[in-house]
Amino acid sequence: MTSALAVDGLRVLYNRSIIGLSDVSLSVEQGQLVALLGSNGAGKTTLLRALSLTLGYCRGHIAAGSMEVFGRTLSGRNPHAAVLAGIAHVPEGRRVFTRLTVEENLRAGGFAAKTARDRQRAKDRVFALFPQLAEKRNIRAGLMSGGEQQMIAIGRALMSNPDLLMLDEPSLGLSPQTIERVADAIRTVNSEGTTVLLVEQNAGMALRIAEYAYVLDMGRIVLSGESSELATSPEVIERYLGGV
């Protein structure tokens, strides 16, 4: 299998001194759906920011280590380079453009598509994945439910036809039923060939759909393994699955 993502010895600092990540190494194979679990402040968002080259906006920087995406070194401070490398980042809290319509939000994500045809194909894919977005394409995103806004955020990321989709806590604040819909959509995107890195505090959902998972704690990877193994690990059950 070709490696989609290879992170080696990554160390991230905020404001030149606060440790965001220390010595993080992980890999994701092409076509895999991998979860990254951890509680508040573990460093999950920091890893996604490093990979989407957006750390600079939060006064963060990479102090050591390397990142390879589909065999190519990823570096620099321009998020555009990450998009061109095939990465799309669905940020925590969705960050949709509330005053823009669904369709305008999607268009904003399609700037990196090479041709109008690619853009159209990406939009067709998003509307097939989330038919309710097609129905509400002319509605302003700010008027839509949290679940629908999450769908817009995922759809917007898919508009660049990414090879690697990274999602930051897509289940946050959603009802159990909506979480299932979002989980199904993530599974579908993955089954269509897109590699997925899923950051979640909802370990139950993440371990159900991911094949492999890493657990971060205080900026370090503390556990990793097949999801089925982690789901039965006493430590994971106690700390991340609410002891059930």
Is 186 in contact with 209 (CB distance < 8 Å)?
Answer: yes
Judged by beta carbon, residue 18 or residue 108, the one nearer ligand ATP is 18
List residues near ligand ATP by CB under 6 A.
Answer: 14-15, 18, 20, 38, 40-46, 58-59, 92, 201
What's the min distance (Å) between Cβ of 12 and ligand ATP? 8
Instruction: Report the residue number, 132 or 201, with the smaller CB distance to ligand ATP.
Output: 201
- Pick the closer one to ligand ATP by CB: 128 or 218: 218
Dist. CA 68–CA 169, nearest whole Å: 23
Distance from C-alpha of 172 to C-alpha of 42, rounded to nearest angstrom? 16
Question: Minimum Å distance from CB 43 to ligand ATP?
Answer: 4
- Closer of 30 and 201 to ligand ATP (Cβ): 201
Question: CB of residue 13 vs ligand ATP: minimum separation in angstroms?
Answer: 9
Question: Cβ 61 to ligand ATP, closest distance in Å?
Answer: 11
> For the purposes of burial, counting CB atoms within 10 Å of the CB of 80, is it exposed (0-12), middle (13-18) or buried (19 or more)?
exposed
Residue 64 Cβ vs ligand ATP, minimum distance, rounded to whole Å: 16
Q: Is the CB of 43 or the CB of 147 nearer to ligand ATP?
A: 43
Residue 160 to residue 155: CA distance in whole angstroms: 9
Helix axes 116-129, 102-109, angle to 10 degrees: 130
Q: How far, in Å, CA of 135 to CA of 142, rounded?
A: 16
> Which residues does residue 165 pair with via DSSP β-bridges, in sequence order?
88, 196
Beta strands in the chain, from DSSP E residues, in sequence order: 3-14, 18-29, 33-37, 60-69, 72-73, 87-90, 164-168, 195-200, 212-217, 220-226
In the complex, the smallest distance separating the C-beta of residue 150 from ligand ATP, rounded to whole angstroms, is: 16
Q: Pick the closer one to ligand ATP by CB: 122 or 215.
A: 215
